[in-house]
Amino acid sequence: DDGDHVPALVIGSGYGGAVAALRLTQAGIATAVVEMGMAWTTAGADGKVFCDMLDPDHRSYWLRTRTDQPVGYFLGIDANKSISRYTGVLDSEKFAGIRVYQGRGVGGGSLVNGGMAVVPQRDYFAQILPSVDVTSMYDTYFPRANAALGVNAIDTAWFETAACYRYARVSRDQAKASGYRTTFLNNVYDFGYMRQEQAGTVTRSALASEVIYGNNFGKRSLDKTYLAAAAATGRLTISAQHVVTAVAPASPAGYTVTMNQIDTAGRTVAVKTVRADRVFFAAGSVGTSKLLVAMRAQGQLPNLPAAVGQGWGNNGNVMVARAQHLWNTTGALESGMPAMGIDNWSDPAGPVFAEIAPFPAGTELWISLYLAITKNPNRAQFAYDVTTGSVGLSWQTAQNQPAVTAAKRLFDTINRAQATVYRSDLFGVNKVWGDDFTYHPLGGCVLDQATDNYGRLPGYPGLYVVDGSLIPGSTGVNPFVTITALAERNLEKILTTDVS
């Protein structure tokens, strides 16, 4: 509430924020989480909390009057539709050269994502974060993160027979026949539940085209794991629909945090100021970077280092689809949770880790869709614009060319070997590559550059960064396990040395 004083305040409730909330409350510290999105607990008129991909409504997008689907076209025709403006669960945040998809709500990205829980390759992790002890990450923090997230492995024998993974088997067989290696991907979606969905004994979620706008069943999102465990300590409060707008030093100590309480139309209904002894920035790569860059430019946190706002990347994301031969059906029923990837990361000529993505249209379309993660070296910066009072991102669409080049090399080889072609109707008119959006924003407040080696902001004792902004633009795999494990490592250090 306005005027409150709290020992610890966490901005955002995604992976970094959820780890901070659990470890702080377990250490006996009363913790307030402030989240701009909604608490997704109440069913709508249709009896469901979330809408599906086939019929998106007001619940799908964050304050938009038209959907902005990642695969936005079909047969070259705009597949988006009008919706009413509402604080929906998926934000497509538009910058000059890229749209950045992010989850909005208690649980952050865990509400909307594909649940793929992938530990990065050890030598690549050592390259991207050279100041971090690799042994303790792989012996302690990655296992700790996987356990707390509820990660599970697919039953590989079931995978071979399940109708809902025919699309993945078709892509796998063609990748193998073209000389590539594939790998199963762990997930936080309960594969036991999915098996029952396939058997027809429970209400379908992943098998009912649910993903990106939320899952009504089966998904172990953060509200069911880390945040539920934090709440069970009795020391957690979560304020949903509160947007943090400013953080500044308070006198004699601590920080004042200013926030707007909003309604479901995004209108401010109250402005509140809270004092906190410690503030954990967990608003995501974009949210944390924007907030800190603005605070430095506006003079609230003038001594933040120049590296704040630098080193942003899109994890080399690029999407592409292939058209299958008519005899090679991908199936009318596709699980929304991917379970397999093509792993060509060790190829020095163009590392690619391509997740075999669903196209859950509910009807046979002969489409093989992929989200490729590549080693794109390009980075961008956040900068404050005095005339608009907003923070922009310098990324240009052309900076994604290295990602397209690497993915093209792999999928050209598969197309040649299988005598198939690209779909050029899904990302625009005559456009093969989905190269102007990302699901994996990373960086902007890089560990050991913008912060110290544990996420502390230099010059401001009690301010910490704990989310994806710490990771320098790339992890080589889907990022949430890396974000979670790094937050576990940093929180352990902070709790033992700063808070006692």
Residues of this chain that bind ligand FAD (CB under 6 A)? 11-16, 34-37, 101-104, 108-109, 112-116, 212, 243-244, 282-285, 287, 291, 439-440, 467-468, 478-480, 483
Query: Least distance in Å: CB of 357 to ligand FAD?
Result: 10
In angstroms, give the least distance from the CB of 321 to ligand FAD: 16
Give the nearer residue to ligand FAD in terms of CB position, either 343 or 420: 343
Please pick, among 35, 440, 488, 492, the residue that the annotation labels catalytic. Answer: 440
Closest CA to 409 of 391, 441, 433: 433
Token pair for 444: 């902007």
Choice among 355, 364, 488, 492 that is catalytic: 355
The nearest distance, CB 234 to ligand FAD, in angstroms, is: 23
Rounded CA separation 461/458 (Å): 7
CA distance 453 to 456: 7
Least distance (Å) between residue 330 CB and ligand FAD: 20
Core vs surface per residue 411-420: b (16+ CB within 10 A) or e: beebbeebeb
Q: Apex CA 221: angle with CA 259 and CA 490, to 5°?
A: 65
Q: How far apart are CA 104 and CA 37, in angstroms?
A: 5
Amino acid at 328: N
Residue 101 or 454 with smaller CB distance to ligand FAD: 101
Q: Between 85 and 409, whose beta carbon lies closer to ligand FAD?
A: 85
Burial status of residue 75 (CB atoms within 10 A of its CB: 0-12, 13-18, 19 or more):
exposed
Sheet holding 437-438, edge to edge: 90-94, 99-103, 437-438
Annotated catalytic, 334?
Answer: no
Please say which residue, 260 or 378, places its beta carbon nearer to ligand FAD. Answer: 260
Choice between 366 and 494, CB closer to ligand FAD: 494
* 440 part of the active site: yes
- Judge if the upstream peptide bond of residue 249 is cis by omega within 30 degrees of 0: no
CB of residue 414 to ligand FAD, shortest distance in Å = 22
DSSP string, 142-163: HHHHHHHHT-B---HHHHHH-G
Task: Tell me how far, at minimum, the Cβ of 77 lies from ligand FAD, in Å.
Answer: 23
Helix axes 166-177, 401-418, angle to 10 degrees: 90
Q: Report the distance separating Cα 56 and Cα 58, nearest Å.
A: 7
Output the smallest distance, CB 119 to ligand FAD, in A: 10
Q: Do residues 69 and 83 lie in contact, with contact meaning Cβ atoms separated by under 8 Å?
A: no
Paired tokens of 334: 């596709």
Indicate the residue among 420 and 484 with the shorter CB distance to ligand FAD.
Answer: 484
Choose between 324 and 486: whose C-beta lies nearer to ligand FAD: 486
Catalytic residues: 355, 440
